[in-house]
Structure 1
Amino acid sequence: MKEFGFGQVPATLPLTVFGLGFGLGPMTLAPLSEAPAVGRTPIYVWTLLAFVLLQIPVALVSAPCYWRHLHCGKFTPRKRGLAIGVWGVAARWAIWELMWISGLALIMLFFFLLEINGRNILYRQAHRLRRLTGNSLLMSDGEIAYKHVAVRKVAYLTVIRPWILTFTEPLVFLFHTWVALIFGLLFIWFTSFPLVFEGVYGFNPGQTGLSFLGLLVGALLCIPSFVWYDRGVQRRMFDEGGHIMKPEQRLVPAMVTAATIPIAIFSALYRRC
């Protein structure tokens, strides 16, 4: 905040925008991945590629700042080259690390991620057979279903219909509202860590970073109970065809653990007081 000259509220804007993208992205891209001609793998690869590329301007955004310091005479002309390199690496080292890890994941997804959308697999097989045999009548079920469908109808099915279901189906609306509340509380929790641990308890930035390990501990504690529920309870809910008989049963763990959220908030406020 000191480097860019703005306050606490504008500093939370990137986190807010991230939350919007985190929610709005699946609302449009997830239905699009079900289209036979698109599939799921391209969605994963192209969106991760965009994420990797967007890390570059984020990592380089401090360029005007350190150029200002250099021109103020902080370094002599002989040392400015080394200073630029050291500052550029150190000031945005975390962003570069994120880009490297994401880039590695992108390479692995590009070469090893297999398509799991059955309609897209059949679509590509039919396209390959048409190219090899020259028979234009070879078509997959997905192509036949979408052959006489207008572009407007496809856009409605893949983009608009999820929004209509959200605001017309009470169960879908309540579930989306619940998920939005959970993620909203989670992101607000992130922004409160520096304010509480540094402003109240006097932690330094390194110690404040260690406080986020509590999230990892909580996630690890949830794994055994989730595995027990999945192996011991949920698998009995499927019929012989592999279809779950009561889809609402998947919400039971969320209903049980929902009580931990107000308990955690009360605990944090109690310790604050």
Structure 2
Amino acid sequence: MAGFAVPAQNWHWSLWILVWMAAPVVVLLLVLMPETSTSNILLRRAKRLRKLTGGPHLQSQSEIDQKQLTASGILISALVKPIEITLKDPAIAFVNFYTALFYGIYYTFFEVFPLVFPPQYGFSLGETGLAFLSCQVGATLGLGIYFAYLYFYMIPDNLKHGLRQQEHRIVPGIFGSVLIPVGLFIFAWTARGSVHYLVCLTGVVLFVLGPFLVLQSIFVYLPLSYPQ
């Protein structure tokens, strides 16, 4: 949309479009999104009980723990502990390295769109922007596949066998990691005028689909490995 709005108006419109799209989502999150943090729920409950009973001794565990925190302890926990875990745990070190490499490739990849679609396919600025809709297709497919994985496999497996080792949660990421280079190669091999641009965009869809599955797996694996 910004590719059409900016030439017609000015560059401010690219930001206004983001505001218009994000504002309803923020409102929905504030109104409909429930609190899921256990410590936060208990903290609010303790505050309500103190207000009703007038008993200052009613405290949540997070309040008790917070009284024992020091500035040095907070700095160590926030800055030193992650580095220590990375150096001592090869699995976490690999995940961090892989994620850093992936993010670098992921966001650098989109810089190539103006270098491919206008010269190879004659796209205008607005049409080049529409090519990014293929990213939405990939993300939507990833969302559907991951939800199906949870509904048809992970949840029934947890109910039957209980929680398994955290490595069990990275299975979707294994398949997603294969889609990343496949999508890149399809895009690179077909990004020329003699091949229809939909084939090229198919590579983009796969490239976006793969990271979605990888990141979902990592975001579940890391908290299960180190809950605190």
TM over 0.5: yes
Residue among 170, 177, 196 paired with 1:251:
170
Matched, 1:219 2:139: yes
5+ residue gaps, structure 2: 1-5, 193-228
Matched residue pairs, number? 187
Q: Partners of 2:8 and 2:122 in 1: how far apart?
A: 29
- Partner in structure 2 of residue 260 of structure 1: 179
Q: Which has the larger radius of gyration?
A: 1
Residues 63-86 of structure 1: CA deviation (Å, up to 9, x unaligned): xxxxxxxxxxxxxxxxxxxxxxx9
Cα deviation 1:1-34 (Å, max 9, x = unaligned): xxxxxxxxxxxxxxxxxxxxxxxxxxxxxxxxxx
CA-based RMSD: 2.9
SS at match of 2:121: coil
1-structure distance, mates of 2:135, 2:7: 31
- SS of the residue 2:59 aligns to: coil
Indicate how the Cα distance of structure 1 residues 88 and 114 shifts in structure 2: closer, same or farther if over 3 A, else same: farther
Name the amino acid aligned to 2:50.
R
Q: Which residue of 2 aligns with 1:230?
A: 150
Matches within 5 A, 1:100-115: 100-115=20-35
Give runs of aligned pairs for residues 1-273 of structure 1, distance below 5 A: 90-238=10-158, 244-272=163-191
Gaps (5+ residues) in structure 1? 1-85
- Partners of 1:167 and 1:173 within 8 A in 2: yes
The answer as to whether partners of 1:123 and 1:143 remain within 8 angstroms in 2 is: yes
Q: CA deviation at 1:187?
A: 0.9
Partners of 1:260 and 1:113 in 2: how far apart? Answer: 32
Deviation string 1:178-201 (CA, Å, 9 cap, x unpaired) is 222222222112111011112333
Check 1:116–1:182 CA distance in 2 against 1; reply closer, same or farther (3 A cut). Answer: same
**Kindly tell me: are residues 110 and 217 of structure 1, through their superposed partners in 2, closer, same or farther at Cα, counting changes over 3 Å?**
closer
Please say which of residues 204-213 and 150-159 is displaced more in the overlay.
Answer: 150-159
Corresponding letter in the other structure for 1:183: Y
1: CA distance, partners of 2:44 / 2:11: 46
With normalisation by structure 1, the TM-score equals 0.59
TM-score after normalising by structure 2: 0.69
